Structure formats: C-alpha cells, structure tokens
Amino acid sequence: MQLSDNKATLSFSDGSAPIEFPVYQGTVGPDVIDIRKLYGQTGMFTYDPGFLSTASCESGITYIDGDKGQLLYRGYPIDQLAESCNFLDICYLILNGDLPNETEKTEFDSLVTHHTMVNEQLHFFLRGFRRDAHPMAVLTGLVGALSAFYHDSTDITNPHHRHVSAIRLIAKMPTLVAMAYKYSQGQPFIYPQNDLSYTGNFLRMMFATPCEEYKVNEVVERALDRIFILHADHEQNASTSTVRLCGSSGTNPFAAIAAGVGCLWGPAHGGANEACLQMLEELQANGGIAKVGEFMEKVKDKNSGVRLMGFGHRVYKNYDPRAKLMQETCKEVLAALGLENDPLFKLAMELERIALEDPYFVERKLYPNVDFYSGIVQRAIGIPTSLFTAIFALARTVGWIAQWSEMLSDPDYKIGRPRQLYTGSIPRDIPSSRK
C-alpha cells in the first residue's frame, strides 16, 4: 500500500486538540485511514459492528466492487477466468499471483493429482459419525483431523511447509467431501483416479460404484468446475476472516481451515444456496408458478415473515457478476440432462422475471445472486441439498489457504484482538451476606 498525500483529522467537540491519521491507498478501491494508534492517542476505540467499514488486513488476492458488480481474482475479471480457465488454473493463480504457463500448469496439476488420497485411518475416524450426520459436521471433523496425520508440514514459519499444506488441502478436500457423501449413503468409498481431471475425479468419487464403470459427463464436469471457480475466493467474507483470525494465533493450517468450514456452515453464508433450493421446493409444493405472484407479494410485506432467498447480496449493490455465468451454466446442464422442463428451473426463471421488473425489487437492487442458480445445477447433477455447503467449502479452500498464507507473510501480521463497547455492570462488591 502507498501513503497518500491526504491525511484524516479527528476533531472533538469538547475542545480537545485534533489528531491526524495517515491515509493509505490501494491499487484500486477505497483509501483507508490508519487508526492503529487511535487508542494510544485518545484512549478510544472505533465502533463498527460487522466490520462493515473496517479493513482488517492488506491483501492482493481478490477485489470486489459491489457498486459495479465486479469481481477480480489477482486482477483478472471473473467472467474471463470462468470462460478461459479450469479450476486448477484458478488455484495456481490465487496461490501464486499469476496464471501458469504450460510447464507450470503440468507440474501443478500433477502435484495436486498425486496428493488426492487420504490416510486410510481416516476411514475409521469417519465411521465414528452417525450415518445421518450433516455433511458439514463430518467435514469440519475430517479437515481438523488432518493435522493429526501431517506433522511434517505444520511449521507455519516455513514457506515450503505452507505450500505443502496448501497442496494437500486443495487435493484432499474433494476426497473428504466424497467420503462424507458415500458414508451417508452406505456405499463403499471410491478411491481417486489419477488420469481424470480434478473435477472429473470428484464426480467419479461421488457417483461411481464398484459394480460398473463410471463415465464422466463432460457438460456436468464443466458445470461443476465453473461452480468451483466462481466460489474460489470472495475477499474478506465471514469464513475467510474466520480463517485469518484463527490462523493469527499461530495454529496449524488444518485447524484454521476447519474453522472456516464451521463458519461457512451458517445459512447466512455458505448455506444460502441450500436455503434457496429449499425455498423453491416449498413454493413448488404449494402451487408452483401459479403462486409465484402471491409469494412475491408476501415477500414485500415485512410482517409476513416470508423471505426471498437467492436475491440480493451484502456486497454487490448491482448484479452479482457470478449469477449471469451460473444462469448460462444452468441452462447448459439442464439441456444436456434432458431437464429443460424442470419445474424448479421454470419457477426460478419466473421469480427472476418478477424481481427484475417489479419496482419494489428493482429499487432495492434485489437481483439474483450466484446461489440462486448454483443450487439448481447441483440438484440436477444429483448432489443432495445437504451437501451443497460442503461443495462450497471444497471450492473455497484455495481462497482460505491463500489468505492464510498471505497473512503469515505480512510483516504487520499480529494475533487478532477485536475490541468492544462494554455496557455491562459497573465495578461492584460482592454482598456482605455472601462473604
């Protein structure tokens, strides 16, 4: 970051002397006021619930302009990346700062491919869960358990160890997610197959059985790969901030990523596409398209308690750039699988039409977001709703580990310690009757 010529001045109405703070500039986006010395100079903290106006770190990985509907990975627009790259290209980009050349691509793809197997003892660990356990509960445990198997790459001060941990997590996450799914179905685990792509291998581990050969559907493979790309990183969101905060204590990378998985589980974050599909299924069961208008009127009534899932975004105040790409992918998958007349897709299109035409939704910029279509795609592929957030975690792992590693390389890195505005009881003595 670069020091700006401008400075910020904090003045007080009680006549205290004003205080100046330096202002720093990034390459794009808002400048930041450096308030690190605020408490030392004033004895005060800032108050910012949800950290909506607070930059907690310096990062060069992902940039979002919510007003423009823009998402960049290392400076590249998401639409260009989704059209021209596969997921492992994106992983290399996010980890290393630029797209790989042919040699780098071959070496990186091979490295990830040959780290997809997990220790056999993890099978026994997995069998300790109930069969009906939520996949995210299982995944949180499995990811955290990796730290018990890979002691040789947990020195976080060693850049090589951090790189090895990153490769292991990216490579093994599809295996762990597929294992969690197979276990819930009572089916045998399918081991990785090295001649398949990253996404094709995941599909095979998910849906193959020992009874017959499994052939990867190229359209489905491309669609799921795009879902991975669109979810690879998203700046300082709740789960990424959780990974950074957890990792700031010096914990091992597997524990930090497990913390991110746990945070992602929330319905306001990674569980949003699961909630969106549940909304569509409930609407279909209660009248379908014929009831869409009535449903949308209830959404506009704040007293009805009805929420419209999959529309609007906390960051994007314009159209989510990932949503358009996901809509195209949704159409391709449904056509390839002969599901063009899928009632949920028709229902989704009608909801979108109303939201884009009704002044209530237009004025509030409640456009469809990426979750609106990704759930339909995953359902068409055969992925159960309960596994949607685990798929999200699989894709986001590369972003989490890159952010974690970037934090540890930052000379200004410190253990996270948010402050508070205390509103509890003032100091008081224990009653004499209790002494």
Question: Would you name the residues annotated as active-site residues?
Answer: 313, 371
Phi, psi of 364 (to 5 degrees): -90, 0
Single-letter residue type at 38: L
- Within 8 A by CB and 6+ apart from 113, the residues are 171, 192, 194, 198, 201
**Structure-token pair, residue 91:** 């992983």
Phi, psi of 4 (to 5 degrees): -85, 155
Contact 375, 205 (CB under 8 A): no
- Ramachandran bin of 245, using left for φ above 0, alpha for ψ from -120 to 50, beta for the remaining angles: alpha
Contact 165, 401 (CB under 8 A): yes
Sheet holding 62-65, edge to edge: 62-65, 70-73, 76-77
Residue 43 to residue 32: CA distance in whole angstroms:
21
User: What residues does 21 pair with on adjacent strands?
Assistant: 8
Instruction: Give the Cα-Cα-Cα angle 106, 205, 210 (nearest 5 degrees).
Output: 125
As to burial, measured by CB atoms within 10 angstroms (0-12 exposed, 13-18 middle, 19+ buried), residue 408 is middle
Residue 314 CB coordination number (10 Å): 13
